[in-house]
Amino acid sequence: MSLLEELLAERGIRIENPSDKPRGMDAKKSKFDFGSFYDGYHHFAVNAGKYTKEQAIEIYQQESYCKTIPPYIVEKAHVKWRAGQNEDHEPCVGWWFDYSPTEKRSVDVWAFRPDYDKKRAVLLAEVQE
């Protein structure tokens, strides 16, 4: 700790290192909690700033429309509110996955996607029985 940091710490002042902060916007200010996404690599996302990974998994299981939840992978990703085109080339405004976040408006999320290798193994086992 440098002399300046020690003096500031004595007075109760803390200087935040920019690398300590998440790249995206403040999760507490974000209106995004969780949501479903269609026709993409990831199909569900939960705000990583508001919820832990375990809480995100619970939310995913509660919100899942399947009676039996297929194997899935949870990864860190980003979403952003923006305009774009959907798969039918129609204009659409909403939350979109942002795989290379460049702006402050991106929100860190826990993203869920199917684990196709495990799903395939389960289906093969059912067929062989």
Domain assignment of residue 84, yes or no = yes
Domain assignment of residue 12, yes or no = no
The predicted model scores a pTM of 0.66
Q: What is the predicted pLDDT for the residue at 26? A: 56
Q: Cα(86)–Cα(99) distance, rounded to whole angstroms?
A: 16
Q: Cα(69)–Cα(114) distance, rounded to whole angstroms?
A: 10
Q: What is the predicted pLDDT for the residue at 97? A: 84
Domain assignment of residue 100, yes or no = yes
Q: Which domain holds residue 119?
A: 25-128
Q: What is the predicted pLDDT for the residue at 114? A: 82
| pLDDT averaged per 10 residues, the chain (length 129) | 68 55 54 83 89 91 75 87 85 84 80 76 54
Domain assignment of residue 54, yes or no = yes
**Structural domains in the chain (count):** 1
Domain assignment of residue 11, yes or no = no
Q: Cα(87)–Cα(45) distance, rounded to whole angstroms?
A: 19
Domain assignment of residue 38, yes or no = yes
φ, ψ at 38 (rounded to 5°): -120, 150
Domain assignment of residue 86, yes or no = yes
Q: What is the predicted pLDDT for the residue at 22? A: 45
Domain assignment of residue 10, yes or no = no
